[in-house]
Protein backbone atom coordinates (compact mmCIF):
# COMPACT_ATOMS: atom_id res chain seq x y z
CA UNK A 1 0.00 0.00 0.00
CA UNK A 2 1.10 3.56 -0.71
CA UNK A 3 2.07 5.11 2.60
CA UNK A 4 2.09 8.65 1.14
CA UNK A 5 5.39 9.20 2.98
CA UNK A 6 8.08 11.08 1.06
CA UNK A 7 10.67 8.77 2.64
CA UNK A 8 9.04 5.48 3.77
CA UNK A 9 10.71 3.20 6.29
CA UNK A 10 11.60 3.33 9.96
CA UNK A 11 11.92 6.78 11.51
CA UNK A 12 13.97 7.97 14.48
CA UNK A 13 13.17 11.01 16.58
CA UNK A 14 13.63 12.45 20.05
CA UNK A 15 10.58 12.53 22.30
CA UNK A 16 9.37 11.90 25.85
CA UNK A 17 8.32 8.55 27.31
CA UNK A 18 4.88 9.48 28.60
CA UNK A 19 4.53 6.35 30.70
CA UNK A 20 7.83 6.97 32.46
CA UNK A 21 7.06 10.62 33.19
CA UNK A 22 3.56 9.77 34.45
CA UNK A 23 2.50 13.42 34.60
CA UNK A 24 0.38 14.75 31.74
CA UNK A 25 1.20 18.43 32.32
CA UNK A 26 4.95 17.91 32.52
CA UNK A 27 4.80 15.51 29.58
CA UNK A 28 3.22 18.17 27.37
CA UNK A 29 5.62 20.87 28.57
CA UNK A 30 8.71 18.73 27.96
CA UNK A 31 7.52 17.24 24.67
CA UNK A 32 6.09 20.38 23.05
CA UNK A 33 9.33 21.66 21.45
CA UNK A 34 10.21 18.13 20.33
CA UNK A 35 6.82 17.81 18.64
CA UNK A 36 7.66 20.89 16.59
CA UNK A 37 10.78 19.13 15.30
CA UNK A 38 8.78 16.02 14.39
CA UNK A 39 6.25 18.08 12.45
CA UNK A 40 9.05 19.89 10.60
CA UNK A 41 10.70 16.64 9.55
CA UNK A 42 7.59 14.67 8.54
CA UNK A 43 7.02 14.91 4.79
CA UNK A 44 4.28 13.32 2.72
CA UNK A 45 4.02 13.09 -1.05
CA UNK A 46 2.86 16.36 -2.55
CA UNK A 47 -0.93 16.78 -2.77
CA UNK A 48 -1.61 13.54 -0.87
CA UNK A 49 -4.41 13.51 1.69
CA UNK A 50 -1.96 13.12 4.56
CA UNK A 51 0.12 16.05 3.26
CA UNK A 52 -2.97 18.24 3.50
CA UNK A 53 -3.73 16.94 6.97
CA UNK A 54 -0.17 17.57 8.12
CA UNK A 55 -0.54 21.19 7.04
CA UNK A 56 -3.55 21.43 9.35
CA UNK A 57 -1.62 19.86 12.22
CA UNK A 58 1.32 22.23 11.74
CA UNK A 59 -1.06 25.17 11.72
CA UNK A 60 -2.63 23.92 14.94
CA UNK A 61 0.80 23.57 16.56
CA UNK A 62 1.86 27.06 15.51
CA UNK A 63 -1.35 28.60 16.79
CA UNK A 64 -0.79 27.01 20.19
CA UNK A 65 2.87 28.03 20.16
CA UNK A 66 2.46 31.64 19.00
CA UNK A 67 -1.04 33.00 19.48
CA UNK A 68 -1.58 32.55 23.20
CA UNK A 69 -1.31 35.52 25.56
CA UNK A 70 0.17 35.32 28.11
CA UNK A 71 2.61 32.47 27.73
CA UNK A 72 3.16 29.79 30.33
CA UNK A 73 5.21 30.77 33.36
CA UNK A 74 8.77 31.42 32.30
CA UNK A 75 10.91 28.38 33.01
CA UNK A 76 14.18 28.96 34.74
CA UNK A 77 17.42 27.43 33.51
CA UNK A 78 17.19 24.51 35.92
CA UNK A 79 13.74 23.43 34.78
CA UNK A 80 14.69 23.63 31.11
CA UNK A 81 17.85 21.64 31.75
CA UNK A 82 15.97 18.98 33.69
CA UNK A 83 13.30 18.64 31.00
CA UNK A 84 16.03 18.04 28.42
CA UNK A 85 17.28 15.17 30.57
CA UNK A 86 14.01 13.41 29.71
CA UNK A 87 14.67 13.43 25.96
CA UNK A 88 14.95 9.93 24.50
CA UNK A 89 15.54 8.53 21.04
CA UNK A 90 12.69 6.48 19.55
CA UNK A 91 12.63 4.35 16.40
CA UNK A 92 9.19 3.49 15.05
CA UNK A 93 7.21 2.93 11.90
CA UNK A 94 5.72 6.06 10.28
CA UNK A 95 2.29 4.88 11.41
CA UNK A 96 3.30 4.71 15.07
CA UNK A 97 4.96 8.12 14.93
CA UNK A 98 1.85 9.73 13.47
CA UNK A 99 -0.44 8.09 16.01
CA UNK A 100 1.86 9.57 18.66
CA UNK A 101 1.41 13.00 17.05
CA UNK A 102 -2.35 12.65 17.08
CA UNK A 103 -2.48 11.52 20.69
CA UNK A 104 -0.16 14.32 21.81
CA UNK A 105 -2.62 16.91 20.56
CA UNK A 106 -5.44 14.99 22.21
CA UNK A 107 -3.59 15.36 25.51
CA UNK A 108 -3.27 19.11 24.99
CA UNK A 109 -6.94 19.39 24.14
CA UNK A 110 -8.02 17.54 27.27
CA UNK A 111 -5.76 19.63 29.51
CA UNK A 112 -6.99 22.88 28.01
CA UNK A 113 -10.60 21.80 28.39
CA UNK A 114 -9.83 21.46 32.09
CA UNK A 115 -8.49 25.03 32.06
CA UNK A 116 -4.92 23.94 32.66
CA UNK A 117 -2.55 26.94 32.68
CA UNK A 118 0.70 24.94 32.42
CA UNK A 119 2.19 27.04 35.22
CA UNK A 120 3.26 23.97 37.18
CA UNK A 121 6.96 23.79 38.02
CA UNK A 122 7.97 20.35 36.76
CA UNK A 123 11.53 20.39 38.13
CA UNK A 124 10.79 17.81 40.81
CA UNK A 125 9.07 15.50 38.35
CA UNK A 126 11.94 15.67 35.87
CA UNK A 127 14.54 15.20 38.58
CA UNK A 128 12.72 12.20 40.03
CA UNK A 129 12.07 10.20 36.86
CA UNK A 130 14.60 11.28 34.24
CA UNK A 131 17.94 9.44 34.31
CA UNK A 132 20.09 12.20 32.84
CA UNK A 133 21.05 13.89 29.58
CA UNK A 134 21.49 11.63 26.57
CA UNK A 135 23.93 13.90 24.76
CA UNK A 136 26.28 16.69 25.78
CA UNK A 137 26.10 20.16 24.30
CA UNK A 138 23.04 21.61 22.61
CA UNK A 139 19.76 19.77 22.93
CA UNK A 140 17.84 19.05 19.70
CA UNK A 141 14.22 20.05 19.70
CA UNK A 142 14.50 23.09 21.96
CA UNK A 143 12.41 25.95 20.59
CA UNK A 144 13.81 29.25 19.41
CA UNK A 145 12.30 31.00 22.42
CA UNK A 146 13.44 28.91 25.42
CA UNK A 147 11.59 31.10 27.89
CA UNK A 148 8.11 30.38 26.63
CA UNK A 149 6.25 27.60 24.89
CA UNK A 150 3.02 29.58 24.94
CA UNK A 151 0.73 26.81 26.12
CA UNK A 152 -1.35 28.97 28.44
CA UNK A 153 -5.08 28.80 27.68
CA UNK A 154 -5.57 32.58 27.67
CA UNK A 155 -6.53 34.17 24.34
CA UNK A 156 -7.88 37.55 23.18
CA UNK A 157 -11.65 37.33 22.93
CA UNK A 158 -11.67 38.06 19.22
CA UNK A 159 -9.26 35.24 18.41
CA UNK A 160 -11.28 32.16 19.36
CA UNK A 161 -14.88 31.37 20.35
CA UNK A 162 -15.81 30.08 23.77
CA UNK A 163 -14.81 26.55 24.68
CA UNK A 164 -18.26 25.87 26.04
CA UNK A 165 -19.64 25.81 22.50
CA UNK A 166 -17.43 22.82 21.70
CA UNK A 167 -17.48 21.04 25.03
CA UNK A 168 -20.87 21.86 26.49
CA UNK A 169 -19.22 22.87 29.77
CA UNK A 170 -19.33 26.12 31.67
CA UNK A 171 -15.94 27.68 31.19
CA UNK A 172 -14.09 30.89 31.95
CA UNK A 173 -14.99 34.13 30.11
CA UNK A 174 -14.16 34.27 26.40
CA UNK A 175 -11.13 36.44 27.08
CA UNK A 176 -9.39 33.48 28.72
CA UNK A 177 -10.42 30.76 26.28
CA UNK A 178 -8.00 28.29 24.75
CA UNK A 179 -7.42 27.73 21.02
CA UNK A 180 -9.99 24.96 21.26
CA UNK A 181 -11.86 25.59 18.01
CA UNK A 182 -8.76 24.84 15.98
CA UNK A 183 -7.92 21.78 18.06
CA UNK A 184 -11.48 20.48 17.90
CA UNK A 185 -11.97 21.19 14.20
CA UNK A 186 -8.64 19.75 13.14
CA UNK A 187 -8.93 16.57 15.20
CA UNK A 188 -12.58 16.01 14.32
CA UNK A 189 -11.95 16.52 10.60
CA UNK A 190 -9.38 13.77 10.39
CA UNK A 191 -10.76 10.45 9.19
CA UNK A 192 -10.28 7.18 11.06
CA UNK A 193 -7.55 4.83 9.83
CA UNK A 194 -8.54 1.43 8.52
CA UNK A 195 -6.10 -0.52 10.67
CA UNK A 196 -2.54 -0.39 12.01
CA UNK A 197 0.22 -1.57 9.67
CA UNK A 198 0.89 -5.29 9.60
CA UNK A 199 4.42 -5.04 8.22
CA UNK A 200 7.42 -4.56 10.46
CA UNK A 201 9.26 -2.08 8.23
CA UNK A 202 6.69 0.70 8.36
CA UNK A 203 5.85 0.17 4.69
CA UNK A 204 2.06 0.16 5.02
CA UNK A 205 -0.78 1.50 7.03
CA UNK A 206 0.18 5.18 7.13
CA UNK A 207 -2.77 6.17 4.97
CA UNK A 208 -5.29 8.17 7.03
CA UNK A 209 -3.37 7.63 10.27
CA UNK A 210 -3.62 11.31 11.16
CA UNK A 211 -7.33 10.74 11.48
CA UNK A 212 -7.15 8.11 14.21
CA UNK A 213 -10.36 8.07 16.23
CA UNK A 214 -10.79 10.64 18.96
CA UNK A 215 -11.58 7.97 21.52
CA UNK A 216 -8.24 6.23 21.20
CA UNK A 217 -6.20 6.17 24.42
CA UNK A 218 -3.05 8.29 24.45
CA UNK A 219 0.09 6.38 23.63
CA UNK A 220 3.15 5.97 25.74
CA UNK A 221 4.81 3.54 23.35
CA UNK A 222 2.73 2.04 20.57
CA UNK A 223 3.08 -1.68 19.90
CA UNK A 224 6.31 -2.22 18.05
CA UNK A 225 7.91 1.04 19.12
CA UNK A 226 11.54 0.69 20.04
CA UNK A 227 13.38 2.99 22.40
CA UNK A 228 17.08 3.33 21.64
Q: State the Cα–Cα distance between residues 41 and 46, nearest whole angstrom.
A: 14
3-state secondary structure of 50: helix
Q: State the Cα–Cα distance between residues 140 and 162, nearest whole angstrom.
A: 36
pLDDT at 102: 87
Q: pLDDT by residue (tens digit) across 106-143?
A: 898 888 888 887 888 899 999 999 976 544 333 333 33
Opening angle at CA 216, ends 22 and 15, nearest 5: 45
Domains in the chain and their CATH numbers?
Answer: 11-227 (1.20.1250.10)
pTM above 0.75, yes or no: no
pLDDT at 89: 93
pLDDT at 91: 93
Q: What secondary structure does DSSP assign to the chain, as a single string? A: ----BSS-S-EEEEE--HHHH--HHHHHHHHHHHHHHHHHH--B-TT-HHHHHHHHHHHHHHHHHHS-SS-SPPPPHHHHHHHHTT-EEEEE-HHHHHHHHHHHHHHHHHHHHTT-------HHHHHHH----SSSSS-TT--S-TT-----S---TTTS--THHHH-S--S-GGG--SHHHHHHHHHHSPPPS----SSSS-S--TTGGG--TTSPPPSS-TT-EE-
pLDDT at 125: 94
Which residues in the chain show pLDDT less than 70?
Answer: 1-3, 6-8, 67-76, 132-228
Amino acid sequence: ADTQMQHPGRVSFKFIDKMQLNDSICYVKAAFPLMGKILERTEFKENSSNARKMQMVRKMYNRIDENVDPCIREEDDEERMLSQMCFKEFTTSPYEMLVLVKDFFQDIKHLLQNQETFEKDCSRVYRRVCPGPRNAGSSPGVGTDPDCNCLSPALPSATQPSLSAATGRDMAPASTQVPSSLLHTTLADLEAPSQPPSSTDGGSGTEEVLGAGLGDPALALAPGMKQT
